[in-house]
Amino acid sequence: MDQYVLVLNCGSSSIKFAIIEAKTGTAPLHGLAENLGTVSSKFGFNYQNKQHSAELPADASHQQALTVIANTLKKFETLSQQIVAVGHRVVHGGETFTHSSLIDDDVKQAIEQTSLMAPLHNPANLAGINSAQTTFPDLPHVAVFDTAFFQTMPKHAYLYALPYELYQQHHIRRYGFHGSSHYFVAHEAANALKKEFSNCNLITAHLGNGCSIAAIKQGKAIDTSLGFTPLEGLVMGTRSGDIDPSLPTYLIEQLGYSVDKVSHLLNNESGLLGVSKLSNDCRTLEQEVKEGNQQAKLALDMFIYRLVKYIGSYLAVVGPLDALVFTGGIGENSAYIRENTINQLGHLGFQLDIDKNLEMRFGQSGLISCSSSNPIFAIATNEEWVIAKDAIQFAH
């Protein structure tokens, strides 16, 4: 009999769910409750590629949304009866969680303790866990952490060059995020190369609204671009990525910004959106570039330039490379970003197959480099499958 896992991703105002078949990663049923806690709360789901909507009260809470999800599952009884575990995406596992964990009171307490470092995410993840345990009391609930894959980073890579007590007393260090995605595409690349994962040196670039890049040496993550929070590193949709750390003090002291305003600026008003003054959406910007919009071109040029710099620096630390992998909405779909990135890396042994690059999109995965190049893959990520595979280990 097939075994399915209910995968939940609870954000501050949304709950994404998917029923994942653990062997194949397929999702016959998935959906989204969004705008929770506002008048425009809504819920939609997709069953075998057909979209449906269902009633969700205005101002719906996480608990109400989960009840609607549970009622939706009841309509698909045969499928629901085959659910053997619930997997929860938890953004921050701090240094406590190097692997996925069966959720008990101690695990919940540890997630709560990490909330200080992920105030937007962990409390919402925890609220989702509590509601889901009430709604699905008979299933094992498993926490899968975005940070866990990066717990293999060596100290010289994860520490900031700050007074050491800040690390000892306040756990201030780099953690990395998008771990399940990097883990998934790295394993897919190793499979495609027919190599043992533990023998692979890879660079994986997850480019979505949030972006991160990881250096994986001999199957272990040794560096990644997101840091203490998901703000460091690459240029993102609305996040700045790397800046001079003195800038926030300058904005506060010289330009009179409040702390909140600085935080909002760096997280929500920067990146592709801030530079282009148009959109955080890569598709919109690519279209604008075609129509001659120079500001959109500047935003994408900066996005690409930062990515090229990171690939170069990770090449230096990862050793002889087995493959470079693109994933995430942009990495999987944007031939423009891939082509303009790789065009700057010819002298480091990368060359695209132009036709394969143009074809590889919309959920396809495969090699996009020509035979003389270091292998370059575009791989459709499937974080839900990683969560499902981990969760099913704890099924009765």
Which residues are 30's β-sheet partners?
18, 46
The arrangement of strands across the sheet holding 141-145 comes to: 50-54, 42-47, 29-34, 15-21, 4-10, 83-90, 141-145, 101-102
- Residue among 13 and 98 whose Cβ is closer to ligand ADP: 13
Minimum separation from the CB atom of position 290 to ligand ADP (A): 12
Q: Which of 105, 146, 242, 281 is catalytic?
A: 146
Phi, psi at 243, each rounded to 5°: -140, 170
Please report, in angstroms and rounded to a whole number, the separation of the first and last CA atoms in the chain: 14
- Residue among 174 and 338 whose Cβ is closer to ligand ADP: 338
Minimum separation from the CB atom of position 209 to ligand ADP (A): 4
- In the numeric block, which tokens belong to residue 3? 């075994």
Minimum separation from the CB atom of position 198 to ligand ADP (A): 28
Burial 254-291 (b: 16+ CB within 10 A, else e): eeebeeeebeebbbeebbbbbbbeebbbbeebbebbee
Minimum separation from the CB atom of position 281 to ligand ADP (A): 4
Separation of alpha carbons 180 and 146, rounded Å:
6
Which is nearest to 114 in space by CA: 12, 229, 13?
Answer: 229
Minimum separation from the CB atom of position 244 to ligand ADP (A): 25
Name the site residues for ligand ADP (rule: CB under 6 A): 208-210, 237, 281-283, 286, 328-330, 333-334, 361
- Residue among 136 and 377 whose Cβ is closer to ligand ADP: 377
- Residue among 200 and 307 whose Cβ is closer to ligand ADP: 307
Minimum separation from the CB atom of position 160 to ligand ADP (A): 25
Does residue 104 have an active-site annotation? no
Q: Any idea what DSSP says for residue 352?
A: B
Q: Taking a C-beta distance cutoff of 8 angstroms, is the pair 28, 79 a contact? A: yes
Separation of alpha carbons 279 and 237, rounded Å:
8
- Residue among 210 and 375 whose Cβ is closer to ligand ADP: 210
Q: 3-state DSSP call for residue 335?
A: helix
* Tally of CA atoms within 13 A in the half-sphere of 127 that contains its CB: 20
Contacts of 111 (CB under 8 A, 6+ apart): 90, 92, 93, 122, 125, 126, 129, 143
The residue number whose beta carbon is nearest to ligand ADP equals 329
Separation of alpha carbons 54 and 12, rounded Å:
21
- Residue among 70 and 358 whose Cβ is closer to ligand ADP: 358
Instruction: List residues with catalytic annotation.
Output: 146
